[in-house]
Every structure is written in structure tokens, then in C-alpha cells.
Amino acid sequence: MKNRIVMSAMTRNFSPDHVATEKTVKYYEARAAGGAALILTEGVIVHSTADGYVDVPHIQTPEQAHSWRPVVDAVHRAGAKIFCQLWHCGRISHSDFTGGVPPVSSTHQAAAGMNRQNGKPFGTPRALGAEEMPDIYGMFANSARLALDAGFDGVQVHMGHGYLVDQFFDARVNDRKDRYGGTVENRCRFALELLECVLAAVPKEKVMARISPSRDMGGIYDWPDLEEMIEHLIPTFDGMGLRMLDISCAAADYFATSGRVVRMARPLWPACLIGGASLTQGQAEGEVENGLLDLVTWGRSFIANPDFGARLADGRPVKEFDRAMLAELI
């Protein structure tokens, strides 16, 4: 990698037919040419029943995967690497997005609040039976294989932000009475079995996981039993051969959220650790120099400044992100 600057996964709704488009190519090419060493794509849905958003890409079929080939080639020509983020929304969805079937989750309780994508309450999910879990793991393994066939340098398994895998981790959501709920070990089991399948499907060094044990959700929100979860999960990830871990806080203050988790995880994690969220250059350098992070992620700065990486390296001023840019800019 040419530097330690990573562009975070960000959904952009450029894909009405669930494939990468000309817009997708231009968007990522500009960020790669603009100095990011590694790009994590927007969430890409592993199966049509895993969707929860409008106009987001899928990676269930070879055709969908191959639509990314021009994106990958353009990013590589610009000297950067690119990983495909694999995404299952679980209950953060509605049957409007899953082909008419109820979304699945760890629980049968609907998420609170409204789905901004269709202006309706989140759909009532169906709690997955233990016997159907291998099908979900298979969706991720299939998508991981397809992504590598399409030329991606690796995949990032999205285990954060309240989506399906997080719905198993989080004791406030997971109300199961079987071996996938209750204790710390049980709540980590779905993620670990899923990861095992992905690690068996593609070379281990091409797999990254993203977790978000502490993030802003209308106030700072930590997983219940955060420390015990980290003490179980991180060494288990390591023992399985996972080599890249992204600790995210969605869009919260890093030092109040994932920066704390990074400090808990680092002594337990000998491999590549990735994190960030709108850090200043000095803060990012501090985290790297103190051995906490190996690579630093930025999201919104890359939307506002396609050449954010180069600006950071040269110490040039950067434009502030504002939400209107999501509609205006590619």
C-alpha cells in the first residue's frame, strides 16, 4: 500500500439494477487517484433477501460481480487496492426490499423507528432457525468467491452498525434461548461460524471483518458486556487466521467510542488493525505512532474531497462534508 489512508465503506445508492455502473467507476477511480491506498466499497448485498436499501449493489450472481470489474481495474490503474464490503441488513429492512419475504434476524422483534428508505416502520423480522444459518454463511462465502473472481483484492465482512451479524452480538437485540443467544460465547457464535465459512472459501489473508462495539445511536451506545465480548471475540478471530480487523463507530466521535475499543483490542490483536472517523491528521498520526492503528479510515471527507488522500499528505485544506453532497456529487 502506498500509504495508510483508507476510504471507509459508504452506501451511495448508485445501482438501480443492483450492479456497478459508470458512476460507480468514476466515483471510486477519483478517490483512488486522489490518494487513498485502500478503498472499502459501499456495502454490497450478499443475497436478494438480505437487502434493506434503495438502489444498492448486490453480489449474488457472477453477472453482478463482473459489473465491478471496470471499477476494480480503474482503482488498480490508479495505484490503490479495493475490498468489497459484504452486507446483510437483517432486520434493518422491510419486505419491500427483500422480494416480499420478511427480513431475517436473531430475533422476531422489529427494530424501533422508521426506515428512511421507504418511510415505513422497519419490517417485523423472522428469527432465523439454527438449521438455516448455514444458508446465510453460504451467501457470504459465495459473494466472497465472486468478489475475488471479479478482481477485488479482498472482502470486508460487515459485522457492525446494527445489521444482521450485530443483531446476534448485541444482547439488547438478541433474545434467543438457543446456543446463539444468552452468553457471550453464544452471541458470538453466529459471527464466528459465518467467518469460518468465508475463511474457508477464499484465502484467509484476503478477509477483513468490520465490527462496531461502541458507536453513536442517538447517544453513545456500547454493546452490553463490551469488555467480555472483546476478550472473547478478538483472540478467537486471531486464532481462526483472520488478519485484518476494522473497528468502526459509524459516525460518532472516535475517541469516545471506537478509540476506546481499539485500546481494549490492541493488546489482544497482533495483526492489522484499522479504525478512524473524521480524525485530524495529527490524531491519525498519533494513533499510528502509538501502535494503536495500522491503517486509518475516513468516510465523509472522501465524499467531500475526492482527492482527500493527497490533500492530507500535502497538508492542504479540505472541504467540509454536508449531506447535500450525497445528492450532488459523485
Ligand X SMILES: Cc1cc2nc3c(=O)[nH]c(=O)nc-3n(C[C@H](O)[C@H](O)[C@H](O)COP(=O)(O)O)c2cc1C
Radius of gyration of the chain (CA): 18
DSSP string, 279-302: --HHHHHHHHHTTS-SEEEESHHH
Q: Smaller CB distance to ligand X: residue 112 or 327?
A: 327
Task: Please report which helix (H) or strand (E) contains residue 74, including its range.
Answer: helix 69-77
C-alpha 122, offset from chain centre = 20
CB of 178 to ligand X, least distance (A): 28
User: What does the DSSP 8-state code read for residue 278?
Assistant: S
Name residue 9's amino acid: A
In sequence order, the 6+-apart residues with CB closer than 8 A to the CB of 119 are none
What backbone phi and psi angles, to 5 degrees, belong to 110? -75, 150
Q: Smaller CB distance to ligand X: residue 118 or 283?
A: 283
Examine the residue annotation and report whether 254 is marked as an active-site residue of this protein.
no
Q: Which residues bind ligand X (CB under 6 A)?
A: 8-11, 42-43, 85, 158, 161, 210, 248, 250-251, 277-278, 298-301, 326
DSSP string, 189-217: HHHHHHHHHHHHHS-GGGEEEEE-SEEES
Among residues 27, 28, 137, 163, the one annotated as catalytic is: 163
CB of 215 to ligand X, least distance (A): 9
C-alpha 191/C-alpha 275 separation (Å) is 20
User: What does the DSSP 8-state code read for residue 251?
Assistant: B
Q: Smaller CB distance to ligand X: residue 127 or 156?
A: 156
CB of 15 to ligand X, least distance (A): 12
CB of 277 to ligand X, least distance (A): 4
CB of 287 to ligand X, least distance (A): 13
Active centre residues (catalytic): 163
